[in-house]
């Protein structure tokens, strides 16, 4: 089976639809989401419904928590806070209730799915470099731990970082921590939508980048009255 792992969609419908097409072209049979369905972008309702209807499951991200009314907005910078408040006003009560009911983590067999640092999923800690990745890996006994939150693709074992440019062969007895990057707002200098395909038959992981209609996504953000910075940063990949 081929499983797609998505994170940090951030209400970017154009990016999400491009990723779904790319996954279908690669024979993806099952989809999971690591949270932050909403926030920043202009299509929270459409993205949320695609996740509800098309994903096997989703865990909670910090923007999901805030939009559901469960998080402290002081945590966010002014642009993110404005987007959270705008997004909450766009969603129907049952959609906010869906976000409020998402779990902080999910486990399937020896695989852990979590939005942020696995040591404290609700603390929203980042994993940004090799030392932090090793610490995060030590915080779980899972063979595979998939995370998001930083918007930067990353893969590591106890021995150090692995290239995200190459297909990663999963070795027996090795443990991995993998950040799926961001669908809707990459921050690794590459504006293209990022997601991960886990081929469970071949035991491989592949990071996939997808072009999408960037200008359309930007225009929607501006038309919605959201901060222009949120549109500008999409093109810069940060």
Residue 221 has φ and ψ, to the nearest 5°, of -60, -45
CA dist., res. 31 & res. 6, Å (int): 8
Q: In this structure, what DSSP letter does residue 160 have? A: E
Please compute the mean of the pLDDT values over residues 20-34 and round it to a whole number.
98
CATH, residue 24: 3.60.21.10
Q: pLDDT-based confidence at 51, cuts 50/70/90?
A: very high
- pLDDT at 178 (0 to 100): 98
pLDDT reading at 74 higher than 90? no
pLDDT of res. 64: 98
Q: pLDDT at position 29, please?
A: 98
- How does pLDDT run across 92-142, given as a tens digit for each residue? 999 999 999 999 999 999 999 999 999 999 999 999 999 999 999 999 999
Confidence of residue 229 (pLDDT cuts 50, 70, 90): very high
What counts of helices (H) and strands (E) characterise the chain? 8, 12
* pLDDT tens string 135-181: 999 999 999 999 999 999 999 999 999 999 999 999 999 999 999 99
Quote the domain boundaries for residue 105. Answer: 2-236
Higher pLDDT, 232 or 238: 232
Strand residues in 122-211 grouped as ranges (E): 144-147, 154-157, 160-161, 168-169, 176-179, 193-199, 204-210
Q: What is the pLDDT of residue 71?
A: 84
Taking the C-alpha atoms of residue 229 and residue 225, their distance in angstroms, rounded to an integer, is 11
Task: Share the mean pLDDT of the chain.
Answer: 97
pLDDT band at residue 75 under the 50/70/90 scheme: confident
Confidence of residue 207 (pLDDT cuts 50, 70, 90): very high
Inform me whether the pLDDT recorded for 212 exceeds 90: yes
Neighbours of 92 (CB within 10 A): 10
Q: How many structural domains is the chain composed of?
A: 1
Cβ–Cβ contacts within 10 Å for residue 33, how many? 32
Query: Quick one: pLDDT band at residue 72, thresholds 50, 70, 90?
Result: confident
Q: Flag whether pLDDT at 40 surpasses 90.
A: yes
Kindly report the pTM of this predicted structure: 0.97
């Amino acid at each position: 089976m081929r499983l797609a792992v998505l994170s940090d969609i951030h209400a970017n419908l154009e990016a999400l639809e491009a990723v779904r097409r790319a996954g279908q072209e690669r024979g993806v049979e099952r989809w999971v989401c690591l949270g932050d369905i909403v926030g920043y972008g202009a299509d929270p309702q459409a993205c949320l419904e695609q996740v509800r209807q098309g994903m096997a499951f989703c865990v909670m991200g910090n923007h999901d928590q805030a939009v559901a009314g469960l998080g402290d907005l002081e945590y966010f910078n002014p642009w993110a806070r404005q987007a959270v408040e705008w997004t909450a006003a766009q969603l129907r009560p049952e959609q906010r209730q869906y976000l409020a009911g998402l779990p902080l983590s999910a486990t399937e067999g020896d695989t852990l799915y979590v939005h942020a640092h696995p040591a404290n999923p609700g603390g929203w800690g980042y994993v940004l470099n090799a030392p932090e990745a090793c610490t995060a890996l030590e915080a779980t006994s899972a063979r595979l731990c998939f995370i998001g939150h930083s918007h930067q693709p990353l893969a590591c074992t106890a021995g150090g970082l692995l290239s995200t440019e190459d297909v990663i062969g999963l070795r027996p007895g090795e443990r991995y921590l993998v950040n799926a990057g961001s669908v809707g707002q990459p921050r690794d200098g590459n504006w293209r939508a990022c997601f991960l395909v886990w081929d469970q038959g071949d035991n491989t992981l592949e990071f996939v980048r997808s072009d999408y209609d960037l200008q359309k996504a930007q225009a929607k953000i501006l038309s919605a009255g959201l901060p222009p910075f949120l549109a500008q940063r999409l093109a810069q990949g940060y």
